[in-house]
């Protein structure tokens, strides 16, 4: 709930334009972090680790954020700059984000595990039965 007023505050108080002395450092740092998370996802997928889906969700998120900030921070007066940013976003970053999300959602197929399900009646019956199998009253 605190995020809404904070966002409104920022919308009205932040300057419309800002110049950074170290504009390149945040971008390079973010891209290094993105590369590290992509590498982590690849290693976890190769090892068929059951938590590959978590890393893939992080990659998805970072790619969407990268596309957003690439497009939003490109100077509009720069010749062709916005076209390059849009092309990179829509032809590279967002398709890779969709692929990464697909990996996250289908990671159980890759690792041989299923996403956890909330315990249901069948799970309780199996857990409570002495033999470990659901009781049947056929």
Whole-model pTM?
0.72
- Cα separation, 110 vs 58, in Å, equals 18
Residue 41 has pLDDT above 90, yes or no: yes
In this structure, what token pair is assigned to residue 67? 């596309």
**pLDDT value of residue 20:** 77
- Give residue for tokens 């700059």: 81
- Does the structure show a pLDDT above 70 at 4? yes
All residues at 6 or more sequence positions from 50 whose CB lies less than 8 Å from its CB, including other chains: 107, 111, 113
pLDDT in tens, 48-81: 888 899 999 999 999 999 999 989 888 877 778 8
pLDDT in tens, 81-126: 889 999 999 999 999 999 999 999 988 766 666 555 556 655 555 6
């Amino acid at each position: 709930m605190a995020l809404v007023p904070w966002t409104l505050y920022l919308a009205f108080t932040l300057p419309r334009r800002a110049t950074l002395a170290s504009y390149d450092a945040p971008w390079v740092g973010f891209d290094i972090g993105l590369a590290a998370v992509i590498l982590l996802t690849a290693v976890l997928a190769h090892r068929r680790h059951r938590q590959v889906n978590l890393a893939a969700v992080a990659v998805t998120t970072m790619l969407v954020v990268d596309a957003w900030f690439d497009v939003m921070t490109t100077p509009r007066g720069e010749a062709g700059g916005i076209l390059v940013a849009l092309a990179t976003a829509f032809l590279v970053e967002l398709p890779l984000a969709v692929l990464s999300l697909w990996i996250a959602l289908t990671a159980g197929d890759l690792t041989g595990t299923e996403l956890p399900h909330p315990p249901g009646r069948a799970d309780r019956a199996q857990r409570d039965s002495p033999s470990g199998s659901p009781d049947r009253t056929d």
